[in-house]
Structures are given as structure tokens and as C-alpha cells.
Chain A
């Protein structure tokens, strides 16, 4: 039987923990709102962008662009986007698991793999594989377009130099507040976008400069947009995952406190009973 004091300390300890988890839950939900807003604001940009890209690639010969060149797969590069901070349930470990699976698959086929880690957690967990080519850490809390641009241009340079024949992005897709799933997206070579409305007016467009030159500008931009989008999704997913994890933790704390309170009450009652027995026993003996 634990002593009264022990139980009491434990109860207050668990209560303090639940205060922290509750606070973290609230912070995460506030951040989730702003991350979702950011995603919402970005949506018109991507949709317009894709529209223009499909108009463009509909009208031109796409195979002539170095960024669209499809090569035999000898070296794969994976951009792994995770969060910078932990305590968000299995969010990061799911992404890592998926990455490691992919790496193992490639190695079985004799394909070389290099990793680019965006976000501290991914780097911490993947550095022991010895395949990390580059890392971008501590940017997930307040990233901007130029962070995405830096990553995209570095990765595409590596692709153009022939060190990687294909690039994929693994990130945490934001399905809903309750569901976040790791997802793989092909990144390079750029795949031509098929528009649903086939060539509505694309034939009559006036291009300035030529389509080829526009594509040269648009493709890197498109890559920026893709990385930025993935980073936004990871940002939102991270907060959503943390919210759920912290909610679960708060509930678990409550259960533990309830249980410990019962233990405490029982112990106290036992102590009182024992004391009474003592007194009664003493009185009996004096008779």
C-alpha cells in the first residue's frame, strides 16, 4: 500500500502534466487555424497556376525541357518534409516509416537513394541512415515562399546535374483535422498537367516571350509552388496531429487522476480505521 503522501504527490504531478497538455492542445488548435487559413489563401494561387500550366503545356512540345526529361532510374532523391517539433503523436514517425520503406525498396532494386530533410524531426531520425544529402531545419514554424524556393532550386540543380534521376516528395498530407496521412508525390521530372477542359482557347494565346522561354520560368516556379504547398500541408497536419495527441494525453491524465484519487481515499480510510482499531484496542486493554 503506497503511503498517503506518495499518492498525493503523484496526483498533483499528473494534474500539472494535464495542465501542460491542455495548454498545448489549445496552442495547437490556434496554430492550426492560422495554418489552415494560410492554406486557404494559397489555394487560388495554385489553382490559377495549374490552369495556366495546363494551357501552356497543352500547346507545346514538352519533352524538350531539361526539367521534364525522363531518365532511367539509377538514383532517387527523396525530399522528406516533417515538422520541427515532436509531441504530435505518430505524425512524424509515420512519415519516417514510409521513407525507410521506400529506401529499402530502392536498395533492393539497386537504386541509389539520397535524402533531403526539411524539418528537424526528419533529420534527427534519418541521419543514422547516412543518406542525408542536405537538411533544412528550424524553418517550419515560420516559413516563407523563399524557403521553398531555396529547397526547390537546390533539388532541381541536383536533378539537372544528373546526380538524381527522379525526385519524390514525402510529406504529411492534411486530409482533415482528424486524419493526416503520409503521402508520396512525384516531383521531378515535371509531369505535364492534363487539363480537364482540353485546349479551350490555348491555341490563340499570345505568348511573350515564346512558350519555351515562359516554360523555363514557369517550371522552377511550379516546383516552388509544389514544395510550398507540401510545407503548408505539413504545417497544418502537424498542428492537427498535436491537437489530437494532446487531447488524448489530457484524457489519459484525467483517468489516472480518477484512479489515484480512489487509491488515495482508500488509503486514507484504511489509516483512519487502523487508528480507530488502535484506540479501541487500547481502551479494551485498560478494562
Chain B
């Protein structure tokens, strides 16, 4: 069997994943990156996006929101504010959230001061990541 790396995804409401996996792909600060077993110590911030990992021929997708990740001692730890498995995501809700966020962004483009642009952008990113995660799953 190929060498494996331990994946831990920790959120404020508890550990979401704690497994030995073959490869982890995550949205890092400077773009997506992949981590295999025995990676060198590494620390990066994480953007809202899609975290995927493979275990044999099983592949899982998670939507994660911002945080950071640390690799050390053949363990990769993600500390994120939330993590959801692709198969648990309510696609309709995510779609609605996407539409809502897009509408709000369009309003900010017309200089509507009542709307917080960064928040609307973050909401849109989350919705897009959810949709992506649920589609691949």
C-alpha cells in the first residue's frame, strides 16, 4: 500500500475529518495545492473553496471556508471556520444564496451604500464553493 498522510479538518464545532488519506487538494492562498505523504513542514492560509481528498479509489469533496492549514509530522491539519461534505450540501439553498449574493453585488456596483461589499463577495464565494462541492460529489 502506498504511503498515506493523516488528514484532520477541525472546525469550531468539532473535528469534521480525521482519516489517513493518499492525497489532499486544497485552495491555498497562492492557488490550489496538493499534499502527499511525508510532505515538508508547511503553513498556508486557506481561501473559501473546495477541499478534496482521495483514499484508494474513494474521493471526497468538502466545502471549506477560510482559515489556515499546517503540515507537519506527516499530518495535515486544516483549521477552518466551517466544513461541509459535498453530499450533505443543499444545492437548492446554495443556488438561492448565489442568486441573492449576485443581486447584492449588482446593487453595490450601483453605489448602494447599505450593502457590505466584502460580505456579499464572501457569501457568493461560499455559495459557489458549495455548488461546486455538491456537483462533483
Contacts and interface: CB of A to CB of B under 8 A. Distances in A.
24 contacts: A42-B13, A42-B14, A44-B10, A45-B11, A45-B79, A48-B10, A49-B79, A52-B68, A55-B43, A145-B12, A205-B42, A206-B40, A206-B42, A207-B42, A208-B29, A208-B30, A208-B42, A208-B44, A208-B45, A209-B29, A209-B45, A218-B45, A218-B68, A221-B67
Interface in A5-57: 38, 41-42, 44-45, 48-49, 52, 55-56
Given A45-B11, A221-B67, A205 B41 contact: yes
B70 interface: yes
Contacts of A201: 41, 72
Nearest to A148: B12
A221 B65 CA distance: 12
Contacts of A204: 40-41
Interface of B: 10-15, 28-30, 33, 40-45, 67-68, 70, 72, 77, 79, 81-82
A217 interface: yes
A214 B43 contact: yes
Contacts, number: 70
A209 B15 contact: no
A55 B70 CA distance: 10
A55 B77 CA distance: 14
A213 B13 CA distance: 27
Given A44-B14, A52-B79, A208 B41 contact: no
Given A49-B79, A205-B41, 6 more contacts: A41-B13, A48-B79, A204-B40, A206-B41, A213-B29, A228-B12
